[in-house]
Structure 1
Amino acid sequence: MHLFRLDASIRVAGSVSRALADTAEHAWRAERADAIVTRRDLGLRPLPADAWTSLTRTRLDPSAPPAPEAAAALVTELGAELLAADAYVFGVPLYNWNLPAQVKTWIDLLLLHPDLGPQGDQPLAGRPAVLALSRGGGYGPGTPKEGWDHVTPYLGRILGEVFGLDLHVAEAELTLADVSPAMAPLRGLAAESLRNGHANAAAHGRRVAELIRPAA
């Protein structure tokens, strides 16, 4: 079996999204010790920001200079990584209330892929995935920043609806409480959210492994 893992945090030490993704991957590997894992780390190795621009400009404007061959090759490479996998773990933090720029670049390039884009036939449909999310603040109903989380609904649309993945979400909020004096009263809630996030990540990792278990 083949697992694809994406990380997007610009941090390694202290990254909550990476820690949640680790928990999901470890739970998966406990069920699938012989699995292949392909990794794409956008936080440490961002994709070239001009690849999508050059490719799209060429498609829209016949008079534009041809896009570099490397840009088209990158779309093929990124698509092949997803198409080769049986299941997925995506570790994504919320930055400035939105999607990290490096994740948006990755998605934009994937949507240029002939099979994965809007004109494709959803070859990933039904494959299971864990989405590990971290948010520095609180964005639930009744909070001052309710509705400011623009990551969770967007990724649900792209991964769950455009790509058709069977998406299982593990999330932790208030991750800045331990380092922000203004958030000190929320540290108990932050710790509870983190515990629940890891518990859900582990459960989802096991569940994803079970969903693709071959018939005996």
Structure 2
Amino acid sequence: MTTLLHIDSSVLPGEASSSRSVADAFRRAWEEQHPEGTVIHRDLAADPVPHITAAAWSAGFTAPSERTPEQAAAFAGRVKLIEELERADVVLIGAPMHNYSIPSTLKAWVDNVFLLGRTAGETPSAKGTPVVVVASRGGSYAPGTPREGFEFVQNYLGAVLQGALGLDLEFIVPELTMAPRNPAMSELIPLYEASRERAFMDATAKAKALAERLAA
């Protein structure tokens, strides 16, 4: 059986969130292809993981027999998250842009699973695992746009997930999501709607393509 690790981080619930809505479309298509599969869902907004602490960080560089009780307890939480990543056949991440970067809750998850000598380093333990990131944003930060230089979601996640953890990374980018809510962006609503439609189509297509790839 296959395992999908699905991570949401938007502070908005349900259909109010573009990243959640598009990720749900991916997940539904995935489940249609893998009705017997397992989905591990972490909603980091509703149930955040602890931000990294000195004990949790230092435990990763301390022999198990030499860890303090505080280090051992903190590291056990990290190991659980790391094992979920390592067990996954595919990872799905909803990563909305919050003030030009990822939500702090998603950064906390990254900090917990990033462990030199295991998930990062010369032989990353989850290397090659496909990961699809739904990177929604209120405006447009595409190459050639005035705010291209403010894009720290794809740049950061590309460096960490692909560059350091060795995951096989793809992005789905629904943009201009603030257009229906901001009167100053009303003329951009058609572009927003087109971007949203493409994102849903991409989510379904990528889920089916990955299902076929794993079945091959």
What TM-score do you get using the length of structure 2 for normalisation?
A: 0.89
1:59 CA drift (Å): 7.2
State the AA in 2 paired with 1:19.
Answer: S
Tell me how far apart the structure 2 counterparts of residues 21 and 59 of structure 1 sit (CA, whole Å).
32
Cα–Cα, structure 1 residues 210 and 52, in superposed 2: closer, same or farther, change >3 Å? Answer: farther
Within the alignment, does 1:71 sit opposite 2:74 as a pair? Answer: yes
Identity %: 34
Counterparts in 2 of 1:1-216, with a 5 A limit? 1-13=2-14, 14-49=16-51, 51-56=52-57, 67-112=70-115, 114-118=117-121, 121-213=123-215, 215=216
Which residue number in structure 1 is paired with residue 64 of structure 2? none
Instruction: Find the aligned partners of 2:86 and 2:58 in 1 and give their Cα distance.
Output: 26
Q: Partner letter of residue 203 of structure 1?
A: A
Query: What's the offset of the Cα at 1:210?
Result: 1.3
The gaps in structure 2 that reach 5 residues or longer are: 62-67
**In 2, Cα distance between equivalents of 1:88 and 1:186:** 32
Determine if contact 2:19/2:96 at 8 Å carries over to the other structure: yes
Instruction: Identify if the C-alpha distance between structure 1 residues 83 and 59 changes in structure 2 by more than 3 Å, giving closer, same or farther.
Output: closer
2:55 is aligned with what amino acid?
A: S
Letter in 1 for 2:188: L
Mapped contact 2:117–2:124 kept (Cα < 8 A): no
Q: 1:140 to 1:174 in 2, by over 3 A?
A: same
Query: Which letter maps to 1:188?
Result: P
Cα deviation for residue 69 of structure 1 reads 3.3
Task: Return closer, same or farther for 1:207/1:58 CA change in 2, 3 Å cut-off.
Answer: closer
Once the two structures are superposed, residues 105-153 of structure 1 have per-residue CA deviations (whole angstroms, 9 ceiling, x without a partner) of 111111136411336x112222222111100111123322122110111
- Is the 2:59–2:72 Cα contact (8 Å) retained in structure 1? no
| Residue 57 of structure 1, CA deviation | 5.6
Alpha-carbon distance in structure 1 between the residues aligned to 2:131 and 2:50:
26
CA distance in 1: counterparts of 2:53 and 2:213, whole angstroms: 34
Normalised by the size of structure 1, how large is the TM-score?
Answer: 0.89
Report if aligned partners of 2:60, 2:75 keep a CA contact under 8 Å in 1: no
Cα distance between partner residues in 2 of 1:114 and 1:74: 17
SS at match of 2:179: coil
One-letter code of the match for 2:176? L
* 2:59–2:75 Cα contact (<8 Å) kept: no
Unaligned stretches of 5+ residues in structure 1:
none
CA–CA separation in structure 1 for the residues paired with 2:170 and 2:102: 18
